[in-house]
Structures are given as C-alpha cells and as structure tokens.
C-alpha cells in the first residue's frame, strides 16, 4: 500500500528536501500551502508533477480538519512556521499564533479526524536559548531567548501533552540549525554564501552582519529530513535531538566561505548593530547520541562541505547556471 504524507511548510527549505526524500521512498505527497497573491513554489517547482498541493493555513482550524478528512494521510510532518528569529521580535503575536498555537490546531485536527495518523513536530534548538548545559540533549532544560523560541517550546510541550493525553503517535524532533543552497536569504549562512558570491562576481564590495561570535551546530538540511522520517517509522513516539555534535562561529563560516573563492573576509565583512538581537543565543551544540542509537541516524555532510556547497551554488545561481535547487 502506498503511504500518504501531508507536509505543512512544503514551500520552505525543509519541505522541499523532505518531499524529495519521501517521493524516493514511494510516498504519495500532499503539500499544504497557504493562499498568497503570488506563487511561492520556487523550491518545489521541480516536483510539481509528482506532488499535490493542497490549500490550508495553520491559522485556520477548520481548514486543517477538512484537509485531513479529504486526504487521509498516514503521516503528517508539521514544518510550517514563522521561522525567522528577528521577525519574531517584531511580530511576536503572529509568531505565537503560527509557530505555537498552530501546532495545537494541527494536533487537535489529527485527534478529531483520525488519531492513528502519525505526526512529526518541527521543534528547534532555539528552545535551549541561554543554554544551561553543554552539549544539549533531550533532557537539557529549556531557556528560550526569543518569541520564536518561546512559541516553539509551546509547540514542543503541546506535542508531548497530546501524546500523553490522547495516545497520539506525536513526535518532536529538536533539530539544530540546518542549512542548504535553498535556505532563505535572510538567515546568516545563506546571507554569507550569497554575499560572498556577489562580492566575488564584482556586484558588491561589503557584507554587513551582526554578531560574529555566535556559535551554532550547523548541518545540511538534506541529511536532516531523513531523521524526521525515521522518527515516524518507530513503534513508539519520542523526542530526538538531531545535530552534528560540532559548533562553529559565524566568523568561522565567513572565513571558510570567503577563503573558498580566494578572498579575505576581513576586507569585506562590516559589523552592523542593526543585525544584533534584543536577546541572543550565544552557543548551541547538540548531542545526537539518542538519534544515533535509536534511529541509526548521523549527519553525513561536514561543516566545510556545507559552506563550500552553499557558496558554489550561489555562484552558479548568480551566473544563471542553475535555479538554486542543487
Ligand atoms: P522555512 O523555510 O521558513 O519554511 C517555513 C514554511 O512555513 C514555509 O513553507 C511557509 O510558507 C510556511 N508557513 C508559514 N506560515 C504558515 C501558515 N500560517 N500556514 C501554513 N504554512 C505556513 O523553514 P525551514 O527552515 O524549512 O524549517 C522548517 C521547520 O523547521 C520550521 O518549523 C522551523 O521553525 C523548524 N526548524 C528549522 C530549523 C532550521 O535550521 N532550518 C531548525 C529547527 C527547527 P510560505 O512559503 O507561504 O511562506
Ligand atoms: O541564521 P540565523 O538567523 O538562525 P537562528 O537565529 O539560529 O535560527 C535558525 O535556527 C533555529 C535552530 O536553532 C531555527 F529554529 C530557526 O527557525 C532558524 O532556522 O542566525 C544565526 C546566528 C544568530 O546568533 C545571529 O545573531 O547568526 C547571527 N548573525 C550574525 N549576523 C546573524 C547575522 N543572523 C542573521 N540572520 N543575519 C545577520 O546578519
């Protein structure tokens, strides 16, 4: 029997990689998209004839219930969110509605329509915030530092609550930062890789960034979507940290990215106060032991490979050699 998966947030970075991965596993894919005056299908354009796009919104409970009733998925991957941390400071209520309460709307829709549907919640290392333990595991206490982190923490706990209250197969994947050539241009890694490519091609001379000392556990998004799928194949739902187990600073990302094209980062990077946050997450590093032992998952792409892949893809993109979907 062909399995059916519903992916919310299919137009985002992770949604596009997950759709590719599940298609390879033989799934029938329903990608939930929200109504927009312009089409935002750039990341899934190459999959259009292999997936069905279906309309609903995490802000609208009835639309979610109708969606589940009509398409009857076996598995739901909730990747939709307002996911950009600075926007969560400027739009905290919207972020709470989508990234926090949206999870409850979807869980409740599953409970009402068919509680045997398995559901994955995209939780985040941002929940660890001002970390109280290094490295962070599934048992590390949380200390979010942004409205986004607070909203994700609500989503995490409501997932556990629905698992325990209604016996749902509801799993929370606590994923550390994962990047790719499909990353939004506002996130620091893509901002750097795109900026480096523009400078290399003579279209810019400087790159303005915020806190260069922030450290993140950065992996490749294409590796991480496999962990999401593995979680829903387990007999019992659980929580999993998904990470590389290494941390690097924004400064190191710059060094490698500029060096890859023969440039000195210090001649081009300008620190601009505008990109600092009201409260910062200084250091994230995950311990993926549980994911390794229970799922057999490990990150396959190294930090250096990731940085170089992103810079090469942006050089290609800017020179018209590909669509940004490598
Ligand atoms: P992304 O590129 O920002 O994609 C977010 C997706 O959510 C987009 O498809 C967006 O649709 C959709 N969306 C936003 N508001 C919605 C609403 N009200 N109703 C329905 N859909 C809505 O995010 P990502 O990097 O792929 O991340 C996927 C998920 O993992 C997110 O929940 C994120 O918070 C979480 N996460 C990401 C990371 C990471 O490092 N990437 C780490 C941990 C957790 P539009 O295209 O219409 O805007
Ligand atoms: O790339 P970022 O914006 O990602 P951030 O805040 O870590 O959030 C991402 O990862 C989370 C997982 O931990 C996800 F849940 C979330 O959805 C998102 O995908 O910023 C990374 C670091 C920050 O410390 C920031 O202050 O880079 C620093 N930074 C320095 N200059 C900058 C800049 N960030 C951005 N976006 N732009 C800058 O110019």
Q: Which pLDDT tens digits describe the chain residue by residue (326 residues)?
A: 899 999 999 999 999 999 999 999 999 999 999 999 998 899 999 999 999 999 999 999 999 999 999 999 999 999 999 999 999 999 999 999 999 999 999 999 999 999 999 999 999 999 999 999 999 999 999 999 999 999 999 999 999 999 999 999 999 999 999 999 999 999 999 999 999 999 999 999 999 999 999 999 999 999 999 999 999 999 999 999 999 999 999 999 999 999 999 999 999 999 999 999 999 999 999 999 999 999 999 999 999 999 999 999 999 999 998 654 55
Residue linked to tokens 């000392």: 213
3-state SS string over 276-318?
CCCCCCCECCECCHHHHHHHCCCCCCCHHHHHHHHHHHHHHHH
Cα–Cα dist 176/189, whole Å: 14
pLDDT at 129: 98
With the most atoms of ligand 1 within 8 angstroms of its CB, the residue from 17, 80, 105 to mutate is 80
Give the pLDDT score at 40: 86
Instruction: Tell me the whole-structure pTM to 2 decimals.
Output: 0.98
Q: How many CB atoms lie within 10 A of CB 45?
A: 12
**Domains in the chain, ordered, with CATH?**
4-178+217-242 (3.40.50.720), 184-216+247-282+303-325 (3.90.25.10)
The H or E element spanning position 259 is helix 250-260
Structure-block tokens of residue 40: 């935002």
User: Which residue among 120, 126, 180, 224 is the active-site one?
Assistant: 126
CA dist 237 and 191 (Å) reads 36
Catalytic residue among 63, 88, 124, 146: 124
CA of 249 to the centre of ligand 2 (A): 11
Q: In sequence order, what are the residues at sequence separation of 6 or more whose Cβ sits closer than 8 angstroms to the Cβ of residue 128? A: 136, 140, 142, 143, 144, 281, 284
DSSP assignment of 199-240:
HHTTS-S-EEES-TT-EE--EEHHHHHHHHHHHHTSSS--EE
Q: What share of the chain is helix, strand, coil (3-state, %, to 5)?
A: 45, 15, 40
Cβ neighbours of 55 (radius 10 Å): 12
How far, in Å, are 76, 217, 230, 300 from residue 297 at the CA level? Answer: 20, 16, 8, 9
The ligand that comes nearest to the alpha carbon of residue 228 is 1
| Whole-number Å distance between alpha carbons of 183 and 306 | 12
Closest ligand 2 atom number to CA of residue 284: 13
Closest ligand 1 atom to 14 CA: 26
The answer to whether residue 172 is catalytic is no
Residue 104 confidence (pLDDT): 99
Dist. CA 145 → ligand 2 center (Å):
12
């Amino acid at each position: 029997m062909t399995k059916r998966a519903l992916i919310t947030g299919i137009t985002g970075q992770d949604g596009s990689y997950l759709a590719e991965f599940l298609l390879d596993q033989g799934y029938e894919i329903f990608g939930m998209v929200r109504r927009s005056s312009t089409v935002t299908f750039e990341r899934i354009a190459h999959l259009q004839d292999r997936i069905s796009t279906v309309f609903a919104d995490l802000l609208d409970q009835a639309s979610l219930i109708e969606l589940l009733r009509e398409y009857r998925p076996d598995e739901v991957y909730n990747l939709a969110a307002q996911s950009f941390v600075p926007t969560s400071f400027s739009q905290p209520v919207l972020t709470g509605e989508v990234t926090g309460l949206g999870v409850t709307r979807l869980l409740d829709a599953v409970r009402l329509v068919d509680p045997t549907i398995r559901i994955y919640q995209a939780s985040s290392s941002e929940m660890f915030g001002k970390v109280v333990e290094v490295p962070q595991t599934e048992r590390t206490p949380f200390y979010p530092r942004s409205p986004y982190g607070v909203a994700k923490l609500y989503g995490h706990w409501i997932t556990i609550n629905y698992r325990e209250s209604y016996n749902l197969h509801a799993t929370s994947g606590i994923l550390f930062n994962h990047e790719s050539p499909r990353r939004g241009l506002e996130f620091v890694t893509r901002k750097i890789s795109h900026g480096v490519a523009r400078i290399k091609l003579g279209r810019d001379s400087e790159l303005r960034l915020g806190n260069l000392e922030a450290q993140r556990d950065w992996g490749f998004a294409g590796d991480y979507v496999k962990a999401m799928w593995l979680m829903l194949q387990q007999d019992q739902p659980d929580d999993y940290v998904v990470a590389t187990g290494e941390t690097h600073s924004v400064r190191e990302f710059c060094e490698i990215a500029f060096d890859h094209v023969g440039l000195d980062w210090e001649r081009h990077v300008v620190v601009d106060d505008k990109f600092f946050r009201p409260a910062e997450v200084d250091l994230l590093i995950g311990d993926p032991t549980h994911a390794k032992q229970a799922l057999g998952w490990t990150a396959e792409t190294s930090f250096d490979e990731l940085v170089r892949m992103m810079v090469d893809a942006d050089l290609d993109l800017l020179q018209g050699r590909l669509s940004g979907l490598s």
